[in-house]
């Protein structure tokens, strides 16, 4: 940088200085370098401020919860809290499983097979994040007295979205199926979410 | 360039200050002798009224913050403590909560006044756009303030509104997690909303300052929408409009007081007196009344991303309003067709407000879609065409002519307005 400066200090003599384009190219370069450095500096200062608003380590550390499935009878569902979010764990009846498996993919808003949403050999257990994919309300349908919509799954009271017995959206305005969280069966009656 | 100001103030102390920092001269120039069109009607009070409400909101807000706790297990209780235990806490909170509603009433009248009298047209485009920025800042501030009591409606309103951003492809979910500071609306969200709710009003003051500076460069519009042509068309701001504004402020404060003392919960939702429960959504989530038209637009579009874009678009379209309206005539007084469309547009906004307050079923869905379509049709199609197709009425020669001969500033027949001026 010092070299460049000293060269430019010598170069524009009385004649050369008035030569169009000669000086301007160097000046443009300096402006670009200065501008780019300033932009990087501002970004470097801004990033810690912006990132400080992302989930903090203690929030991220709310890793996993274990849930005992034994008390849930067929046709019932429970709500488990994981990372501040409600998780629906539903024990499906054979009819509900059949309805979920028989649904034609062409009829779905967000096509996905039932098999892709449950664990192999555990067809009766559906585990989904109980948050409507429209605007984040909690759909009704865990209690037998709740409205479950026309497809027997869940019904969102906020804007009328309906989900089937696989947690797939069947009626808008929700655009996507209920999310399936990461979980694993530890034993046949115990799952670990997260 | 630099140099002391030559002050003509007689008081030696004030003169000493004014010589070094000529704020007194500036205030005299901008607020005392400032030439203002002589034909203002009471709709021109609402800018001053908005400033009064802002001052009330700042004062009550700062004192409320001394008693409020932005922590999720304590927020609701601290608000109840303000209501029951803090001396005059009920007055501070009711004034602040209803003040938000009053602020929006005043500002909405201010905006529609600008639309009726063409106050956004050249040379006041930037003044208008700064006003739209003020509206956006007010909405953000009001939304975050409503979350602070941490009742059911606070929590679920925050959930629904922040989830709007998840509609954007790819970055949506990242943005929402960032806004929340977690994986759901939770303590970090409440804490930052409090910080921002305290910050934004000061940003608001900065933009309002620019809004007023721009106003004092262009000068005020007036009900006739024609420029003042000389001293005969204007009055000094003080005492004429300080008095007129004071009358309006008195009436406004009476209305405000009646609401605060006799109907303090009319604008509120009863559900917000239930502490926030992240595991149970209320049967119906309704935003505050001043957001209902926008909420109606959101719900009128069956597609999630489409609804969000239309909702944001309904405000962003205001930024380009000065260029969408192609008519050179400002005041609707002289635009017989625009006048009709103005009232239709106002009606569509009111209709959207009612739609937003009802479940999206049957009639309300249809009305919501028609009113949403009309809202955009008005700005994007009707206004650009109207300027070309409409034949405006003849404008008066000057403000003073119209005021003195036209019987209080009413519309003049073209001939009567044109002829006397020729003799002058």
Q: How many helices (H) and strands (E) does chain A have?
A: 4, 9
Q: B260, B219, B227, B220: which is closest to B53 by C-alpha?
A: B260
Cβ-defined contact of A59 to B303 (cutoff 8 Å): no
Q: What is the pLDDT of residues B42-65, one digit of tens each?
A: 999 999 999 999 999 999 999 999
Q: Do B281 and A85 touch (CB under 8 A)?
A: no
Q: Is B244 labeled as catalytic in the residue annotation?
A: yes
Confidence of residue A20 (pLDDT cuts 50, 70, 90): low
Question: Which residues in chain A are closer than 8 Å to B192, comparing Cβ atoms?
Answer: 53
- A18-29 mean pLDDT: 74
* Nearest beta carbon to residue A55 from set B162, B183, B279: B183
In the prediction, which pLDDT does B417 show?
A: 44
Where is pLDDT greater, at B424 or B402? B402
Residue A2: pLDDT over 60: no
Q: How far apart are CA B71 and CA B186, in angstroms?
A: 9
Give the pLDDT score at A173.
Answer: 80
Choose, from B18, B233, B245, B271, the residue flagged as catalytic.
B245
In percent, the amount of chain A with pLDDT more than 90 equals: 18
- Chain A residues within 8 A of B281 when measuring between CB atoms: 137-138, 157-158
What is residue A21's predicted lDDT score, i.e. its pLDDT? 58
CB contact under 8 A, B156 and A137: yes
d(Cα A133, Cα A137) in Å, to the nearest integer? 8
Mean of the per-residue pLDDT values of chain A: 83
Q: Which of residues 141-160 of B touch A (CB under 8 A)?
A: 156, 159-160
Question: pLDDT at position B418, please?
Answer: 43
Closest CA of chain B from A62, distance in Å: 10
- pLDDT of A10 higher than 60: no
Flag whether pLDDT at B416 surpasses 70: no
Q: Distance, in angstroms, between B181 CA and closest chain A CA?
A: 4
Report CB contact under 8 Å: B285, A158. Answer: yes
In this structure, what DSSP letter does residue A12 have?
A: -
Residue of A nearest to B186 (CA): A84
pLDDT score for A128: 92
What confidence score (pLDDT) does residue B1 get? 56
Name which residue leads in pLDDT, B418 or B148: B148
**Chain A CA closest to residue B295:** A159
- pLDDT, residue A19, reads 55
What is the pLDDT, as a whole number, of residue A65? 84
**Which range in A21-35, A67-81, A84-98, B184-198 is most confidently predicted, on average pLDDT?**
B184-198
Per-residue pLDDT, B349: 97
Residue B408's pLDDT is 46
Asked if the Cβ–Cβ distance from A138 to B186 is below 8 Å, we say no
Mean model confidence pLDDT for chain B:
92
Give the tens place of pLDDT for each residue, B70-95.
999 999 999 999 999 999 999 999 99
Contact (CB, 8 A) for A123 and A93: no
Interchain pair A173, B156: CB under 8 A: no
Query: For residue B302, what pLDDT band results from cuts at 50, 70 and 90?
Result: confident
CB-based contact B42:B31 (threshold 8 Å)? no
Model pLDDT, residue B239: 93
Determine the pLDDT at residue B422: 40
Task: Kindly tell me if the per-residue pLDDT of B334 is higher than 90.
Answer: yes
Chain-centroid distance of CA B377 in Å reads 22
**Strand boundaries in A98-189, DSSP class E:** 125-129, 152-155, 162-164, 169-171, 183-187
Q: Do B188 and A85 touch (CB under 8 A)?
A: no
**Contact (CB, 8 A) for B326 and B389:** no
Which residues of chain B make contact with A85, given a CB cutoff of 8 A? Answer: 183-184
Average pLDDT over every residue of B234-256: 95
In this structure, the number of other CB atoms found within 10 A of the CB of residue B279 comes to 11
Q: Are A133 and A170 in contact (CB under 8 A)?
A: no
Residues pairing with A166 in the sheet: none
DSSP line for B338-401: HHHHHHHHHHHHHHHHHHHHS-S-THHHHHHHHHHHHHHHIIIIIHHHHHHH--PPPPPS-HHH
| Closest Cα in chain A, distance from residue B127 (Å) | 30
Q: Which of B184, B186, B283 sits opposite A157 (nearest CB)?
A: B283
- At A157, is the pLDDT very low, low, confident or very high (cuts 50, 70, 90)? confident
Mutate to test the interface with B, among A58, A59, A182 (most CBs of B within 10 A): A59
The reply to whether B17 touches chain A by the CB within 8 Å rule is no
Q: Is B184 on the interface with A (CB under 8 A)?
A: yes
Distance CA B301, CA B294 (A): 12
In this prediction, residue A171 carries a pLDDT of 82
pLDDT reported for residue B413: 46
Among A96-110, A149-163, B403-417, which stretch is predicted with the lowest mean pLDDT?
B403-417
Confidence category of residue B401, pLDDT binned at 50, 70, 90: confident
Where residue A22 falls among pLDDT bands split at 50, 70, 90?
Answer: low
Q: What are phi and psi of B164, to 5 degrees?
A: -55, -35
pLDDT band at A17 (very low <50, low <70, confident <90, very high): very low
Q: In chain B, pLDDT over 90 holds for what percent of residues?
A: 83
Q: Which residues contact B356 (CB under 8 A, 6 or more apart)?
A: B286, B287, B291, B292, B293, B294, B295, B296, B299, B368
Residue A161: what pLDDT?
86
Interface check B299 vs A, CB under 8 A? yes
Nearest CA in chain A to B302: A173
B288 classed as catalytic? yes
Per cent of chain B over pLDDT 70 is: 95
CB B331 within 8 A of CB B402: no
pLDDT tens per residue, range B338-395: 999 999 999 999 999 999 998 878 899 999 999 999 999 999 999 999 999 999 999 9
Does B181 have pLDDT greater than 50?
yes
Q: Are B227 and B24 in contact (CB under 8 A)?
A: no
């Amino acid at each position: 940088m010092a070299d460049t400066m000293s060269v430019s200090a010598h170069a524009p003599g009385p004649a050369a200085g008035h030569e169009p384009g000669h000086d301007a190219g160097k000046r443009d370069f300096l402006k670009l370098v200065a501008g780019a450095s300033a932009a990087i500096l501002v970004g470097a200062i801004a990033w810690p401020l912006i990132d400080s608003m992302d989930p903090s380590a203690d929030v991220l550390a709310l890793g996993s919860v274990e849930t005992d499935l034994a008390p849930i009878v067929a046709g019932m569902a429970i709500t488990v809290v994981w990372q501040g979010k409600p998780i629906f764990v539903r024990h499906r009846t054979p009819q509900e499983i059949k309805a979920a498996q028989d649904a034609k993919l062409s009829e779905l808003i967000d096509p996905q097979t039932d098999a892709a949403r449950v664990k192999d050999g555990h067809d009766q257990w559906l585990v989904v994040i109980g948050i409507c994919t429209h605007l984040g309300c909690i759909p009704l349908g865990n209690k037998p007295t709740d409205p479950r919509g026309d497809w027997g799954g869940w019904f969102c009271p906020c804007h009328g979205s309906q989900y089937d017995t696989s947690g797939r959206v069947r009626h808008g305005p929700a655009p996507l199926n209920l999310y399936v969280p990461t979980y694993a069966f530890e034993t046949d009656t115990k799952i670990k979410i997260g | 360039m630099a140099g002391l100001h030559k002050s003509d103030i007689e008081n030696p102390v004030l003169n000493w200050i004014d010589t070094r920092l000529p704020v007194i001269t500036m205030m005299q120039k901008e607020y005392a002798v400032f030439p203002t069109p002589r034909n203002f009607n009471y709709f021109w009070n609402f800018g001053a009224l908005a400033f009064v409400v802002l001052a009330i909101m700042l004062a009550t807000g700062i004192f409320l913050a001394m008693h409020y706790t932005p922590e999720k297990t304590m927020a609701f209780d601290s608000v109840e403590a303000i209501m029951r235990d803090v001396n005059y806490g009920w007055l501070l909170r009711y004034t602040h909560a209803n003040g938000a509603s009053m602020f929006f009433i005043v500002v909405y009248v201010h905006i529609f006044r600008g639309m009726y009298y063409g106050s956004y047209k050249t040379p006041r485009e930037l003044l208008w756009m700064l006003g739209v920025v003020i509206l956006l800042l007010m909405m953000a501030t009001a939304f975050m303030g409503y979350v602070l009591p941490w009742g059911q409606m606070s929590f679920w309103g925050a959930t629904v509104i922040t989830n709007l951003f998840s509609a954007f492809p790819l970055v949506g979910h990242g943005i929402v997690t960032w806004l929340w500071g977690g994986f759901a609306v939770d303590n970090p969200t409440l804490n930052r909303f409090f910080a921002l709710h305290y910050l934004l009003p000061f940003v608001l003051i900065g933009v309002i300052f620019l809004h007023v500076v721009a106003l004092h460069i262009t000068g005020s519009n007036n009900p006739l929408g024609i420029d003042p042509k000389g001293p005969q068309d204007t009055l000094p701001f003080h005492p004429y409009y300080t008095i007129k504004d004071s009358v309006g402020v008195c009436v406004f404060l009476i209305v405000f007081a009646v609401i605060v003392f006799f109907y303090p919960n009319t604008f509120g939702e009863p559900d917000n007196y239930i502490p926030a429960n992240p595991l149970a959504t209320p049967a119906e989530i309704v935003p505050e009344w001043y957001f209902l038209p926008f909420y109606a637009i959101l719900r009128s579009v069956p597609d999630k991303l489409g609804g969000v874009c239309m909702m944001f678009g309904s405000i962003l379209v205001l930024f380009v309003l000065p260029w969408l309206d192609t008519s050179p005539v400002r005041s609707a007084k002289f635009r017989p067709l625009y006048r009709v469309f103005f009232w239709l547009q106002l009606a569509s906004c009111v209709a959207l407000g009612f739609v937003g307050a009802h479940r999206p079923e049957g009639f309300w869905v249809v009305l919501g879609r028609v009113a949403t379509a009309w809202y955009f049709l008005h700005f994007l199609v009707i206004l650009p065409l109207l300027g070309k197709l409409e034949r405006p009425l003849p404008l008066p020669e000057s403000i003073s002519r119209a005021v003195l001969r036209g019987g209080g500033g009413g519309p003049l027949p073209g001939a009567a307005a044109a002829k006397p001026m020729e003799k002058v």
